[in-house]
Amino acid sequence: MKKKILLALIALILIAPARASQNSPKKDENLEEVVLEDVLDEEMTVPQALSAVSEKAPEEKTLKEKLQDVYHLEVDKYDKPTYLLENILTHKFDEDSIWDRTQLWAGYNGDIGLQFTEGGMGSDHTTNHYDINTINVGFDGFLKNNNADFRVMINISPYSERNVIQNLFADMYIATNKIPHHRIMVGHTRPPVGMEGAYGPFVLPFLARSQISRNFGTVRKLGARVSGDYSLIGYDFGVYSSDTYFQEFFPGAEFIGRVDLKPLGKTDGKYGKLLIGGSMDAGHRDNNFCVVGAHIQYDYKRFMANFEWAQANGYNGPIGRSVDTHASGFYATIGYMLTKKLQILARYDEYDPNHEIAHNNQREYSVGLNYFIKGQGLRLILNYVFCQNDAAKDSHRIMLGTQILI
């Protein structure tokens, strides 16, 4: 009898929780279901994460595959250099390294020129400083998180007026983009003396720069600079040695600055891109010198146009310093992309090398075609220039050029 009572009590204890759960409100059932679903989701995500880790990383492309990618490369942007062998000549570091990547590159820009004057064919340089042969080899390095980067670039192009060492070293600098919207650079760089004078050789619309750029700008100097880039304004200020091409040891100090306004910077390119700015280059090298300029640049879809003016009271440019020489000039350029690869250009360029001498102006009328096979990475160039000189014979120049970046 006692055994039967004990079995009945055990049965009652086991049955009671089941009945209690059946008699509980429906709300409690939903809560239990929610909890069970949450646990189930967590349990399901674990195997997925584990399976993702266990997947094999994509294999590195072979050299043949990378070269095929270069062959099929399509480039729509022409405002910056495109290096054809970037994926081959770039080394990427491991995650635990402070280095992000290094890149070796080389570039060539040159022409086969035909010049003739009104008296017939000739090789005399009746035009103003047409020396177009650029051969550069560079090595760039980048730290992670924009902490720093550097460039070492040498110039292999021969130049008769400078010795091998003076002409060999081009860009040599270290820089950082760590401060938002800013870039700080220290070393040997091309400062922004004017708009086109600050361009590198591999993004120029024509083979030759404008006359004011050839005389006042496009020269590298040793110094420190800081540039800022915001949606409505950009600027670049620097202090340099007034020496050029390592010819003298700090003959004087030089300040170079540029400010650009971007009135359409908040429109996301709907109405194009407009740049309105000015620049100044002032310093001392034997005597004081000062160059001031203003520029406007507009790009809209396939159309581009720019205008630049500059005036100098002495200058310290690539052909050397010109003390107390009052010179000035301006140019206007328009261009249109006929197709995605073919661009047509026209330019009027006027220069007065010395205000103290009458009837010595130099005017250049240029037309050009650019065929961008692989953007600026592989480009064919055809330029015609009519040079109208008040103090010399008029001349014509036809230039067939090639540009390749690897």
CA-closest candidate to residue 405, choices 75, 102, 136: 136
Mean pLDDT of 12-37: 42
Q: Residue 116: CB partners within 8 Å, gap ≥ 6?
A: 122, 395, 396
C-alpha–C-alpha distance, residues 128 and 123, integer Å: 13
At 46, the pLDDT band (50, 70, 90 cuts) reads: very low
3-state secondary structure of 296: strand
Average the pLDDT over each of 45-54, 107-116, 255-264, 390-399 and give the range with the smallest value.
45-54
Task: Give the pLDDT score at 159.
Answer: 66
Q: Residue 73: what residue type?
A: L
Q: Say whether pLDDT at 124 is over 80.
A: no
Q: Could you tell me which of 83, 244, 217, 241 has the C-alpha nearest to residue 159?
A: 244
Residue 44 has pLDDT above 60, yes or no: no
Average of per-residue pLDDT across 243-254:
89
CA 354 and chain centroid, separation: 34
Closest CA to 355 of 312, 404, 308: 312
Structure tokens, 390: 């008040």
Extents of the domains making up the chain: 83-405
- What the block records as the tokens of 401 is 């050029």
**CATH architecture of structural domain 83-405:** Beta Barrel (2.40)
Query: Percentage of the chain surpassing pLDDT 90?
Result: 62
Give CA–CA dist 350/371, Å, rounded: 27
Alpha-carbon gap, residue 369 to 71, rounded angstroms: 23
Q: pLDDT of 141-150, one tens digit each?
A: 999 988 999 9
Question: Which among 317, 338, 97 is positioned nearest to 214, based on CA atoms?
Answer: 317
**What is the pLDDT at residue 130?**
62
E-strand ranges in 177-252 read 182-189, 221-229, 233-241
| Beta carbons within 10 angstroms of residue 322's beta carbon | 20
CA distances from 349 to 141, 219, 329, 333, 396 (A): 38, 20, 8, 9, 14
Residues 149, 169: contact at Cβ < 8 Å? Answer: no
pLDDT at residue 368 above 70? Answer: yes
Confidence of residue 119 (pLDDT cuts 50, 70, 90): low
Q: How far is CA 1 from the centre of its chain?
A: 99
- Average pLDDT of the segment spanning 388-399: 90
Summarised one tens digit per residue, pLDDT across range 159-188 is 667 777 888 889 999 999 999 999 999 999
Question: How sure is the predictor about 209, in pLDDT bands with cuts at 50, 70 and 90?
Answer: very high
pLDDT at 128: 54
Q: Which tokens belong to 32?
A: 């239990």
pTM reported for the whole predicted model: 0.80
In 18-128, beta strands by DSSP E: 90-92, 99-117, 120-121
Q: In this structure, are strands 320-337 and 303-317 parallel, antiparallel, or unpaired?
A: antiparallel
CA nearest to 366, candidates 223, 253, 208: 208
